[in-house]
Structure 1
Amino acid sequence: MHSPRKAPTGILGFPVAPFDENGKLDEKALEVNIRYLIEEGLEAIFIACGSGEFQSLSKEEYEIMLDVAIQEAGGKVPVYTGVGGNIQDALSYARLSEDKKADGFLVLPPYLAEGEQEGLYDYLYQVISETSLNAIVYQRNNAILQPSTLEKLLDLEQLVGLKDGVGNMELNICLTNRIGKRLSWLNGMPMAEVTMPAYIPLGFDSYSSAISNYIPHISRQFYDALLQGKNEIVHEIYKDIILPINEIRKQRKGYAVSLIKAGMELSGLPVQNKVRAPFTPVELEHYKQLESILQRAKEKYPKKQKIVRG
C-alpha cells in the first residue's frame, strides 16, 4: 500500500462513461476526458462512479474504464473507483480495484435494499476490509449513517473519508464534530458548487465538480474565490453560470449525468449527448439553454492561456 491514508482534497474529477453511436463504451473519448481533467489540475480521478453511470456498466466495461483511468493518470493523481451494488458485486469490484492498483474506492449505496444501521455497518465493514485500499463512504439514498455507526467503522484504517450527498447539515455538524480530522470530508451534493459555502466551515475541504468535465477553469475560479473570501467573484459566477446550470439540471431526473455529457459535447470534447436507460439525453430546449450559458462563460470568464516554459 503506497497511497497515504488520506482522501484527496480540492476539486475532484468524475469522468463520464462516453458511448458511441452504437451505445458502446468509447475508450478514446474516455482517454480524452481523463487527460483533460488531469491537465486542468483536478486533484484526483474517480472512475466508474455516479457520473460514470456505474449502474449501467458491464463488468468488462468497468474493467476497461479502470485500465484507462490508471493508464492516463500515470501516478500523477490518485485514482479512486466506484464500488457498490449488491454485496457480492461490491466485494468483487473492490478486489478488482486492488488488482488494478487503484489508490482507493468510493463505496456507493447497496442495491435497492433498505437496511438498518447494523446492516449498513456490516455491508461497509465487509467491503472496506476486503482490501488494503483507501475507502471513502458515500452518504446518500439508502445508505445514510448515523454518528455511532460511522464511529464503529473507524477501527478500519482503510476508511479515510466520507462523501456527503444528502445535505442534512444537522447530521453533518454532528458527524464532523464527533469524528473530526480522523476522516476527510467531501461534498458530493449535486452541483456541489451550490452548497460548498455551507460545507467549508464544517471542515469539508474537497468536492466533486460536475461542471469540471467541461468548464474546469470555472470550477477553479469559483473555488479559489470562495477560499480567499472574494465574495463578489463568487456571487458573479453563481449568477452567470452555476445557478443557471443548476436550474436546468433540476428540470429532469437523470440530468445530473446527461447534462455533463451535453456540456462536454458543447465544449468540443469527443463525448456525445448519449446516456443509458433509465437516463435520457438532454432535451433540445435545455441543450440550447446550456449552450447560451457556456457562451456567456466563455466571453465573461475566458480561460487563461497556460505559460509554456522552454
Structure 2
Amino acid sequence: MGSDKHVSLAGIMGFPVTPFDDNDYVNEKAFEANVQFLLNNGLDSVFVCAGSGEFQSLDIQEYERLVTVGVSVVAGKVPVFAGAGGNLKEAVERAQLAERVGANGLLLLPPYLIIPEQEGLYQYYRTIAQSTELPVIIYQRDNAVFTLGTLEKLANLPNVIGFKDGLGNFELNIEFVQSIGSKLQWMNGMPLAELTMPAYNALGFHSYSSAISNYIPQVSRKYYESLIGGDQASLQAIYREVILPIHRIRQLRKGYAVSLIKAGMDIVGLPVGLQVRSPLVKVEREHYVQLESIIKKSIDLIAATNNV
C-alpha cells in the first residue's frame, strides 16, 4: 500500500498472540488458527508481532515467519500491521523486513527502557518511519509520551497515518485531537480497551485494539455496535457481566494482559496453549477457572441480547 494515508484504522483491531509449544518453539499452525479466527469473526485489521504477540521476545527469524504467515492467511482481506520498536537498529531491520514480506503497515512501539527527551523521541520514531514506505502508527505508552509539538512534527511525515494511545491522559488526547484532527487516525490502545472506549469515542478515537476478540469476538462486536448505536442497556450488561470482571482478573498479576488472552483462547478451544516467554507468567489455575465462568456467562449474554 506504500505510504497511502488512506489505510483505514476504523473499527475493531485484532491482535493475535504468538503461540509457543512446550519446547518454546513458535507454533505456526496455532498462529494461523488465531489469525483465521479473527478474520472469520469480522475484525477490521490484524496486528501481528505486537504487544499481545510478545514482540519483545521474538527473534528475527520468528518475526519474519509470523509476519509472512499473517500476510498469507489474511490474503488482502483486511490490513495487516506488524510491530516494530525497542532497539533502534533492530526496529529498522524489522520494519524493512515487514515491508519485504508484504505487511500493509507498522505499529511503532516505544524505545527500549530509555525515558527520552522529546527531540530524542522524535528522532527515534522519525528514523523508523523514514526507513520504510509502509504506513506507520505511532504508539504512545510507558516511556514514549509526546508533547503536541513532537506529535505534530511526526504527523507531518508522509507515511505516519495514525496514533495509538496506551497512556490514558485525556487532557493530552483532547489537545492532540483538537489540534491535529483528521491528519491522523486515532486508536484507543489502552489495556482492555473496551473499558475506556466510550470516553475515547467521544474524543474522536474511532478504533480500538481488542484483546478479548481473540476468544470472545462476538462480545467485542456486540459491545462496539451497542456503543455506536447508543444501546445503553446492552452496554451496561456487557460491562457488568464481562468487561469489568475480566478487568479485575487482569489486575491480579503483572503480564496478564498477554497470558490471560491465551487462557481465554484455551477455554474456547483454540489450539494456542498457555505457554508464554519469560518474564511473563502463565495464568494461575484459580484465575483460569474464574475466566472460564465469565466466558460462559458472556456467551449466554450475547445470545440473550441478540434475541431481544
Report the TM-score, using the length of structure 2 for normalisation.
Answer: 0.97
Secondary structure of 1:163's partner?
strand
In the aligned structure 1, how far is the partner of 2:196 from the partner of 2:48?
Answer: 23
Residue identity in the other structure for 1:5: K
SS in 2 for 1:81: strand
**For this pair of structures, how many residues does the alignment match?**
305
- Cα distance, 1:304 vs. partner? 11
What residue number does 2:73 align with?
72
User: How far apart, in 2, do the equivalents of 1:304 and 1:37 lie?
Assistant: 22
Q: Is the 8 A contact 1:262 1:282 kept in 2?
A: yes
Aligned to 1:164: 165
Alignment match, 1:199: 200
C-alpha distance 117-92 of structure 1, shift in aligned 2 (>3 A): same
Q: CA deviation at 1:271?
A: 1.3
Residue number in structure 1 paired with 2:294: 293
Note the C-alpha offset of 1:8: 1.8
5 Å-filtered alignment, 1:104-253, equals 104-253=105-254
The offset of 1:295, in angstroms, is 1.1
What is the CA distance between 1:112 and its match in structure 2?
1.1
Q: Mean Cα displacement is larger for which, 3-12 or 239-248?
A: 3-12
Give 1:1-16 correspondences, 5 Å limit.
1=1, 4-6=4-6, 7-16=8-17
Deviations 1:158-216 (A, max 9, x none): 00000000000000000000100100000000000000000011110000000000000
Which residue in the other structure is 1:57 paired with? Answer: 58
- For 1:308, the equivalent position in structure 2 comes to none
Q: Distance in 2 between matches of 1:303 and 1:38?
A: 24
Contact preservation (8 Å) 2:68, 2:102: no
Residue in 1 aligned with 2:265? 264
Partners of 1:2 and 1:92 lie apart in 2 by 17
8 Å CA contact 1:98, 1:133 repeated in 2: yes
Residues 3 and 103 in structure 1, CA contact (< 8 A), matched pair in contact too: no
Three-state SS of the structure 2 residue aligned to 1:166 is coil
SS of corresponding position for 2:303: coil
Shift of 1:138: 0.3
Give how far 1:2 is off: 5.2
Aligned pair in 2 of structure 1 residues 273, 52: CA closer, same or farther (>3 Å)? same
The CA deviation at 1:3 is 7.0
Contact 1:217/1:303, CA 8 A, preserved across alignment: no
CA contact (8 A) 2:2 2:135 kept: no
What's the % identity of the aligned pairs?
51
Q: What's the CA shift for 1:22?
A: 1.2
Alignment RMSD (CA, Å): 1.4
Q: What secondary structure is seen at the aligned counterpart in 1 of 2:164?
A: strand
CA displacement, residues 97-144 of structure 1 (integer Å, 9 cap, x when unaligned)? 111121110000001112100000000111101111000000001111
Contact 2:18–2:52 (CA under 8 A) maintained in structure 1: yes
Q: Shift of residue 302 of structure 1? A: 3.2
Task: Give the Cα–Cα distance (whole angstroms) in 2 for the partners of residues 228 and 57 of structure 1.
Answer: 40
Gaps of at least 5 residues in structure 1 are 306-310
1:302 partner SS: helix
AA paired with 2:55? Answer: F
Structure 1 residue 154 displacement after superposition: 2.3
Using a 3 Å threshold, how does the CA distance of structure 1 residues 36 and 121 change in structure 2: closer, same or farther? Answer: same
Change (3 A) 1:266 1:180: same
- Post-superposition Cα deviations, 1:33-60, rounded to whole Å, max 9, x if no partner, equal 0001001000001000000000011111
Does the residue aligned with 2:13 lie in a helix, a strand or coil? strand
TM-superposed deviation, 1:301:
1.8
AA of the residue aligned to 2:292:
E
Report if the CA contact (8 A) 2:49-2:55 is conserved: yes
Letter in 1 for 2:119: E
